[in-house]
Amino acid sequence: MKTIDSAILDRAKIWLTDVFDSETRRKVQELIDKRPEELAEAFYRDLEFGTGGLRGIMGVGTNRMNKYTVGIATQGLADYLHQLFPGDDPPKVAVAHDCRNNSAYFTQITAEVLSANGIKVYVFDALRPVPLLSFAVRELGCQAGIVITASHNPPEYNGYKVYWEDGGQLVPPHDKNIIANVHKTSVDQIRFGMKEALITTLDASFDDLYIERVKSLSMQPGIIEKHNDLRIVFSPIHGSAVRLVPEALKAFGFRAVFNVSGQDVVDGNFPTVDSPNPEEPAALSMALDKAREVDADLAMATDPDGDRVGVAIKDPAGEYVLLTGNQCAAILTYYVLEQMKQQGRLRGDEYIVKTIVTTELLSEMAESYGVECLDVLTGFKYIAEKMRLLEGKKRFLCGGEESYGFLVGDFVRDKDAVITCCMIAEAAAWARGQGLTLYDLLIRIYLEYALYVETMVSITKKGMKGAEEIKEMMDRFRRRPPETVDGKTLARMIDYQAGTDRDLYLDEEHPVDLPGSNVLQFILEDGTRITMRPSGTEPKIKFYFGCRTGLNKAEDFDHKRKEMLATIERIKKDLQIG
């Protein structure tokens, strides 16, 4: 039997004390006696907040999602809230959850600990999309919010996202301060014992407030009225958008919405997909089957927590093709900017936001409309942070990221698949009013600006060994960056961890005006971008590739796109990225 590291064993033995319930103690003892490798993975570290908060495999251990790690996180948050918001009025926290196994249970634990600490809690009566929680924090004047979700991770995962009083996910310094509180909190300090008088249940009547605000974003209600027969297929992939997306589409005026009945079933095991991730084509297979059956104009599928959406549209041959997150963001941004211009609503104080790994097409597009485009680190919480910092000074129009997250309007402070589904459908109706499909509209954008092609490679490296391998990969690219890639000279190297932007032509170095983050970006002489970063929420390292070329004729699209994809394949080979 493999020898157990003594430090890990000491951490595990703490969980054999009477502070923990008997079932937890039994499971920990079983790991010690029979499964030392699982024990090591469960106890070698504490879960920490990344770009998406606390997230991990469910089970016993400090590195797992369970009653005690959720309890400690909640106790640390409760202590921090009392430190920042002292006084007679108790702090207020809204709590929601998705469809995952144990999500309702972890929500109960969270509400119990918060109320035991004298905090007023608003809890939704059933699963809800993440953006509704963000809306609730602002609408109810809460100091924080929590969503129990692991987004699109496999079924064995769950998570704990914390939102601040602005409705956005935690950003520095609050994330680190809460972690500091958590680190000094022991299990015996968790206050269990629910105070029901401090808990208020939110039902469907609260959803109606949100739907009304979503409806207010419509920029062309007259166009929808003319084309309300647009055929739309929607799947929640067993998740939390099952009710609100169809209701919101109906509120916008769409009358031909077709559900994927087999995926309307709420189920944390996600029985019809290998992965409930709308970035992966297989996750939309049932939606596409339904689209073919009803001859839909548009098919959409949201992830389990209802903040991201995958979109399929028809090409000129009548075949369904999947939009990338960048393409979806480009269509939405173009639609919003064009409507603002046509309606005379651009005043010169508007801005959009994108992440540093999202297509540069958004920047080019915004510049042409006289709208500022701001870059932020990966993670929608940084888009929300910009919204908070600029509130009352400039007008936020929209923001997006390549990983299928987008937001229009400012009453939600996270990516919102409900809003995105409605706005994509409205853009499709607007395009139809001009005799175009969404595919035609995308080509029009490329003809007007340039053809941008982006791909991403995600390499999974699980456990302690995987974390070490990811670190070694990042260290290697930092220490020995290539002089050329695919025969093109490396012109700039941006190290967001070091905060440096090096111009290799001029041998100059400039500071990066963003917080430190373990991200490295290579920019080649032709503008091609290669970005690498370890994921903050999954055991992965991600590589992003982006190329740009002119497009003069619509019929050249396929050929040019294939050329650029071939270029990206050569780049991956050069960098030994599989």
CA dist., res. 229 & res. 483, Å (int)? 55
Domain for residue 53, yes or no? Answer: no
E runs forming strands in 22-143: 54-57, 92-97, 120-124
Examine the fold and report which residue of 202, 223, 243 is the final residue of a domain before the chain moves on: 202
Identify the CATH number of the domain in which residue 493 sits.
3.30.310.50
How do 405-408 and 395-401 pair as beta strands?
antiparallel
Paired tokens of 567? 């270029």
Tally of residues, the chain: 578
Does residue 521 contact residue 496 with C-beta atoms inside 8 Å? yes
Does residue 401 contact residue 357 with C-beta atoms inside 8 Å? yes
Can you give the pTM of this predicted structure? Answer: 0.94
Identify the CATH number of the domain in which residue 366 sits.
3.40.120.10
Amino acid at 494: I
Distances (CA, A) of 409 to 64, 146, 214, 559: 36, 22, 9, 37
Q: Are residues 108 and 140 in the same domain?
A: yes
Residue whose tokens read 């700039």: 492
Helix (H, G, I), strand (E, B) or coil at 6: helix
Q: Are residues 257 and 383 in the same domain?
A: yes
Give the number of domains in the chain.
4
Amino acid at 490: L
Q: Are residues 498 and 429 in the same domain?
A: no
Q: Are residues 314 and 259 in the same domain?
A: yes
Cis status, amide bond into 173, omega within 30 of 0: yes
Q: 491 — phi, psi (to 5°)?
A: -95, -40
Q: Are residues 161 and 191 in the same domain?
A: yes
Q: Are residues 227 and 251 in the same domain?
A: yes
Q: Which residue in the list 103, 115, 151, 240 is annotated as catalytic? A: 151
Examine the fold and report which residue of 154, 171, 202 is the final residue of a domain before the chain moves on: 202
E runs forming strands in 307-418: 309-314, 320-322, 350-355, 372-376, 395-401, 405-408
Domain for residue 54, yes or no? Answer: no
Q: Are residues 263 and 399 in the same domain?
A: yes
Residue 412: which H helix or E strand, with range?
none
Domain for residue 486, yes or no? Answer: yes
Paired tokens of 232? 């739309």
34, 31, 36, 35: which is closest to 15 by C-alpha?
31
Does residue 276 contact residue 284 with C-beta atoms inside 8 Å? no
Q: Is 363 a catalytic residue?
A: no
Domain for residue 57, yes or no? Answer: no
CA dist., res. 503 & res. 491, Å (int)? 6
CA dist., res. 393 & res. 8, Å (int)? 51
Domain for residue 130, yes or no? Answer: yes
Distances (CA, A) of 421 to 101, 150, 250: 26, 21, 11
Paired tokens of 87? 């006084």
State the pLDDT at residue 59. Answer: 97
Domain for residue 133, yes or no? Answer: yes
Instruction: Tell me the HSE value of 202 on the side-chain side, using a 13 A CA sphere.
Output: 24
Amino acid at 438: L
Domain for residue 55, yes or no? Answer: no
State the pLDDT at residue 176. Answer: 84
Residue numbers of the domain that contains 1: 1-44
CA dist., res. 184 & res. 555, Å (int)? 62
Q: Are residues 488 and 345 in the same domain?
A: no
State the pLDDT at residue 178. Answer: 85
Beta-bridge mates of residue 524: 490
Q: Are residues 198 and 214 in the same domain?
A: no
Residue whose tokens read 């690498």: 532
Does residue 118 contact residue 191 with C-beta atoms inside 8 Å? no
Examine the fold and report which residue of 448, 471, 495 is the final residue of a domain before the chain moves on: 448
Domain for residue 52, yes or no? Answer: no
Beta-carbon count within 10 A of 572 CB: 18
42, 38, 66: which is closest to 54 by C-alpha?
66
Helix (H, G, I), strand (E, B) or coil at 262: helix
State the pLDDT at residue 577. Answer: 87
CA dist., res. 45 & res. 61, Å (int)? 9
User: Angle 130-139/417-433 helices, nearest 10 degrees?
Assistant: 110
State the pLDDT at residue 539. Answer: 81
216, 548, 514: which is closest to 379 by C-alpha?
514
Q: Are residues 153 and 297 in the same domain?
A: no
Q: Are residues 353 and 480 in the same domain?
A: no
Residue whose tokens read 């995105």: 420
Q: Are residues 264 and 189 in the same domain?
A: no
Helix (H, G, I), strand (E, B) or coil at 562: helix
Q: 373 — phi, psi (to 5°)?
A: -115, 120
For the chain, 578 residues long, give each residue's pLDDT as a single digit of tens.
Answer: 567 888 999 999 999 999 999 999 999 999 999 999 999 999 998 877 654 568 899 999 999 999 999 999 999 999 999 999 998 899 999 999 999 999 999 999 999 999 999 999 999 999 999 999 999 999 999 999 999 999 888 999 999 999 999 999 998 888 888 888 888 898 999 999 999 999 999 999 999 999 999 999 999 999 999 999 999 999 999 999 999 999 999 999 999 999 999 999 999 999 999 999 999 999 999 999 999 999 999 999 999 999 999 999 999 999 999 999 999 999 999 999 999 999 999 999 999 999 999 999 999 999 999 999 999 999 899 999 999 999 999 999 999 999 999 999 999 999 999 999 999 999 999 999 999 999 999 999 999 999 999 999 999 888 878 888 899 999 999 999 999 999 999 999 999 999 999 999 888 999 999 999 999 999 999 999 999 999 866 788 999 999 999 999 999 999 999 999 999 999 999 998 86
